[in-house]
């Protein structure tokens, strides 16, 4: 049943509706629909453009490196090059996972490919197809990618055929789960199948936080949704739209293991990319999902409840000057990067899209005394790391984050020299954030072997 939700509309007091403490900076313009943004361990934004380009952006200077042009990409209305993910152990396994649409014997399809990043030549090479022959269409192709616990999760749309979503023999209208080499995990809900969940219409956002997989999904004329994705669950489309709140929906939900959304919007907003925010740069956004919207030109904050399994409040930051907002990512120092989606979808005409940055210029996120504050060793690490603090700092809290900004470990440093067991962390690159009295004093990187 639909819940009552407290709506908190943020004060819009700066130019172009932006919250008072937020400053907007255009990082780069003249782009063609930057469809997916990922903040990489190299402090660059990795992104796809819908016309088949994979790029890497240095966010301070705005310099772009074009890493690859996938010439097999075919734009058809909403279709083209879509999702992207980086391997969690990117420092040692420099794999880039990309989704794009292509033509096979006049049939429009979707493919998931793994490329290898060559840091010496600064290009992607050695494409390896992991999954293909997914039906595609001019509309409803998905396709977000996300890696969780060494598995690749893939959202697919119903490819304009609503019956696909409930057909467990179809890859469309699903969240798929495959191993990072393209094989089918043995613990998927259906033996030999990539299906993880079904009954989806066209999911446009995914993020993993708090041990949960959150997803945003386009409705038709009603009921855009935010869901928590669970193994083997049915999300209802096309028979159930939004909540189970009509007699036929209530019956189907009970019979078919349908999981209701956390929140649904009517009229629709064209909900899109989502990410999880928990950084002191914007305290009011902490412990929230952030969501971009296409029709609404707004960044939504979805405040999570204490158990992170429901939405307790919604607030909005209008960005109407930038029109359609496609995706976002968050840097380790709390800055929010958003891409727009305003260029002609055909790929012809002017490239008018941008990547913008939201930040608080008064926030001193990285202390100018960083080198004196703390030292981390050994680096690279194997079983543990030692964080040695400057004496008399008082109570300092620490968080260890992966390349996606997800907090994997946290605690309090009570001594000058503190040893932390990191054996359970997979090999890869990690950020260590230290906070003293609510301010971020240090942001360091270490490698785990």
Based on the residue annotation, tell me whether 140 is a catalytic residue of this protein.
yes
Distance CA(340)–CA(326), nearest Å, equals: 5
Kindly tell me the burial class for residue 125, based on how many C-beta atoms sit within 10 Å of its own C-beta (0-12, 13-18, 19 or more): exposed
Name the phi and psi angles at 354, rounded to 5: -135, 160
In DSSP terms, 314 is beta-bridged to 7, 302
Q: In 10 A of CB 336, how many CB atoms?
A: 23
Residue 404 DSSP symbol? T
Q: What is the rounded distance in angstroms from the CA atom of residue 267 to the CA atom of residue 270?
A: 9
Q: Are strands 174-179 and 151-155 parallel, antiparallel or unpaired?
A: antiparallel
| Closest alpha carbon to 57 in 24, 80, 29, 86 | 29
Cα gap 260→281, rounded to integer Å: 33
Place of tokens 């994997």: 408
Q: Which of 44, 87, 140, 218 is catalytic?
A: 140
Burial of 350 (0-12, 13-18, 19+ CB in 10 A): exposed
State the Cα–Cα distance between residues 94 and 355, nearest whole angstrom.
24
> Which residues are marked as active site?
140
């Amino acid at each position: 049943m639909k819940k009552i939700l407290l709506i908190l509309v943020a004060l819009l007091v700066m130019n172009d509706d932006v919250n008072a403490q937020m400053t907007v900076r255009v990082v780069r313009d003249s782009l063609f629909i930057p469809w997916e943004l990922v903040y990489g361990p190299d402090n660059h934004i990795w992104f796809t453009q819908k016309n088949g380009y994979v790029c890497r952006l240095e966010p301070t200077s705005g310099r772009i490196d074009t890493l690859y042009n996938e010439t097999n990409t075919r734009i058809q209305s909403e279709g083209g090059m879509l999702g992207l993910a980086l391997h969690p152990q990117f420092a040692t396994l420099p794999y880039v996972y990309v989704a794009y649409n292509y033509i096979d014997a006049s049939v429009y399809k979707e493919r998931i490919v793994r490329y290898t990043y060559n840091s010496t030549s600064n290009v992607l090479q050695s494409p390896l197809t992991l999954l293909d022959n997914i039906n595609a269409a001019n509309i409803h192709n998905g396709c977000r990618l996300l890696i969780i616990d060494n598995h690749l999760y893939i959202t697919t749309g119903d490819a304009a055929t609503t019956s696909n979503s409930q057909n467990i023999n179809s890859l469309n209208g699903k969240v798929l789960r495959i191993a990072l080499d393209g094989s089918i995990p043995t613990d998927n809900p259906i033996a030999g199948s990539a299906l993880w969940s079904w009954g989806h219409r066209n999911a446009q956002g995914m993020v993993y936080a708090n041990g949960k997989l959150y997803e945003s999904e386009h409705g038709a004329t009603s009921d855009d949704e935010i869901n928590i994705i669970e193994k083997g669950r049915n999300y209802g489309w096309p028979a159930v739209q939004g909540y189970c709140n009509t007699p036929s929906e209530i019956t189907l939900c009970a019979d078919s293991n349908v999981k209701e959304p956390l929140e649904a919007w009517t009229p629709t907003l064209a909900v899109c990319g989502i990410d999880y925010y928990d950084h002191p740069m914007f305290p009011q956004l902490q412990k929230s999902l952030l969501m971009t919207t296409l029709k609404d030109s707004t960044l939504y904050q979805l405040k999570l409840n204490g158990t992170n399994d429901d939405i307790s409040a919604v607030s909005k930051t209008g960005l109407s000057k930038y029109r359609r907002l496609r995706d976002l990512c968050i840097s380790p120092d709390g800055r929010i990067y958003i891409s727009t989606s305003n260029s002609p979808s055909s790929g012809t005409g002017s490239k008018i899209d941008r990547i913008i940055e939201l930040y608080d210029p008064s926030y001193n996120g990285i202390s100018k005394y960083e080198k004196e504050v703390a030292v981390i060793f050994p680096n690279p690490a194997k079983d543990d790391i030692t964080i040695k603090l400057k004496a008399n700092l008082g109570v300092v809290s620490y968080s260890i984050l992966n390349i996606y900004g997800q907090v994997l470990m946290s605690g309090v440093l009570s001594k000058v020299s503190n040893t932390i067991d990191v054996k359970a962390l997979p090999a890869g690159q990690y950020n260590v954030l230290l906070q003293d009295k609510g301010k971020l004093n240090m942001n360091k990187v270490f490698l785990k072997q």
